[in-house]
Structure 1
C-alpha cells in the first residue's frame, strides 16, 4: 500500500513539473513581445521604427513598416539605444508635419532614410527625406544662441538625410541643422542647404565624425567648430558662402575635402589648432585658407589652386601656421594658378613654408607669388626652401 501511494506521489510531481516547463517563459525570452506583435522589425542592433509623414500616425502608429509614425519626433521618443529610426524618402518633416524641434537623439541610436528597394535588377532611387525647422538653443559665448534641427548624441549615426536649414523668426544666421554639444555622433551621406548659419556646429569637447556629406547654398558656413571640439571632417564637398570655420580652442582634423566657396574655403581663428591635410581648395572667391588671431594650423598635402589668394595670414595676434618645415607639417602643398598670391603674409611673424610645389623651381617666380617682408618690411618673412635662381643662371649661359 505504501509503495502504491509513493508511486502516485512521484507521478503527481512529474506531472506538475511538466506543466510548469510547458507554460513558464524561458529566462532569455525577449522582454518586449508586443513589439513584434505590432509588426515592428528587429535587427541585431535593436528595433527598427518607421516614419512616413504622408501615411503615418503618431496616435495609432506603432512604428511598424505597415503602421509608421508620422513624425521623427515620435519615433525618436519611442526608440532606445541600439534602435534605428528609418524615415520615408522624398517626404518633408517640419513643424507643419508635427515635428517638435530640436529633435534630441539618444545615445547609440541611428537616424537614416528608409532603405532603397529594388525591382528585379533595377534599384529604385528616390530623394532623401527633408528635415526643416529648429528651436532656440543657448550656447556659451553666443548671445543669440543657435536654432538647430537636431541635437546629436554620443555614438549616434545620422545618415542619408537632407536638411533645408532655416533661421529663427526674426533671427539672423542662427539656423543650424545638427548641433553637437559635447557629443560625438557620426554624420554621413547627408546634404545641407539653405540660407542660415551652418550645416553642422560642434561645441565643448565634441568628437563627431563628419564624412561624405554635401554642403551647398547660402549657408554662411558649412561647418563651424567651437569650444575645444575635435571634429574629424573628411571627404565632404563644400560650395557654401564659406566652408569650415575653426575657432575658440577647437582642434579639427580636416582631411580630403573638396572646397569651392564664395569667400573663404577654411578659416582658422581664436586659438584653434586644426590639421588641414589632403584637401582640394579650388576656386574660392577670396581665400583658400585664411589664418587669423592666435590660431596655429598645420597645413600639409593640400592642392590650393585658382583662388585669388591661396593662404592669407592676417594682421594681429600671434598666429603661426605651419605650411611646411615648422615641426608639424612637412609641406607637400601644391600651389597653382592663384591669381594674386600663393601666400600673403600680413602678420609680423615669420612663416615656414618649405617642401611645397609652386609650379616653378625658379626663386624669382616663387618669390613673386609670395607677399611678405620682401614686399613690406613691417611684415614677417615666408621661408619657402630651396629653389633655382633661374635669371642669374640665364645670364651666365655661354654663347652658342
Structure 2
C-alpha cells in the first residue's frame, strides 16, 4: 500500500464524509482475516498500517509464560527476555511475521473494504436524506412493475409503490412521471427502502400545499382530510383571518388551483368545505353539495341526525353512501340522514324547532343579564 492510496483515502474523506482513520482501521481488521485465511495461520496477529508511508506489517502476538504449550500463541519467559530483559510473565510479545507476497493480498483486501465502506456511506447518506422526507411528496418516474410493486425512480433511490397504495382508476406505464407521498423509510441490509403511496390522504394535503400559497404560508389551514382514492375526497379548511375566504383560496380563480389537483389525481372529485367549531354548521358544510334543513346534535355519543329536503336525500347520502361516509370521516361525527318527510313522521322537525327555541331563549336571557 503506497502513499497514493492514503491520498485517495483523504480525498474520499472529503468527498464522501467517510473518516480516513475509520477506513484504515477497517482495512487492518480485514487484513487479519486475510492473513489467517491465505497463510493458514491460527495465531493471534495484529496488522499495522503506517499512516505516513502506507507500509503494512503483520505482528504475531504471543503471551509470555513459564511453560509453552502452544508456540503459536505463547513464548517462554527466557526467550522473551533474550529479546528484551524487561519482559515479565503475562506480557505480550509482538514478532513481525509479514509474508513477502502480502502486498498483493493487502491491495485486494483494501479495495474490497473501501468499496464496501463507500457503499455503506452512500446508503447512509440516502437514508438520512429520505428519512427527513417521510410524509412529504416527491415526483418520480415509473420504471417497471410486478405483481406486488410498481418501482418508481426518485433520483438517488428506487421507491416501492405497493398495490394497496395505488389508485384503482390509474394505470402506470414505463417513464410516466407521478407525484407520490412517502409513507415509510426503512433501513435494510441492501440499503434504504422507500415506500410510497398514491392513495394516502397525505398526498391530497401536500398537493394543496403545492398549489395554494395561502396553505403553504399558513394563512389557510387544512384541518381534516377524508379520501376514497381515485373517486372522491373531502377536505375541511379554516382561516383565522375573517377577511380570508379559505374555500375560495383553495378553489382558485375559475377553479384553476383545485383543477390542477384533480388532473394530477386522474379526475378524483374533491369537495372543499369550511371548518367550523359549531357541529351543526360543520356537518352541514361537510355534506356538500347537498342542502341541509337542520342538524340535531347529540354531544354524548358524538352523533347527529341530519334533515334534508326530500329531493336532496340521495345527493346527501351519495352513491353507495359515499357522501355521508366521507362527511362522517371528515368531521368525526356520526351522521344519520333523514328526509324532510321522514323527519316529520318521526317528530324530528318539532324537536329541532324546540331546540332552536330554547337556544333563542337562552341567548335573550344572556343578553338581559
> What TM-score bracket applies, with the shorter chain setting the length?
under 0.3
TM-score, length of structure 2 as denominator length = 0.27
More strand by share: 1
TM-score, length of structure 1 as denominator length = 0.26
Computing the radius of gyration over CA atoms, which structure comes out larger, 1 or 2? 2
Q: Which structure carries more relative contact order (alpha carbon 8 Å, separation 6+)?
A: 2
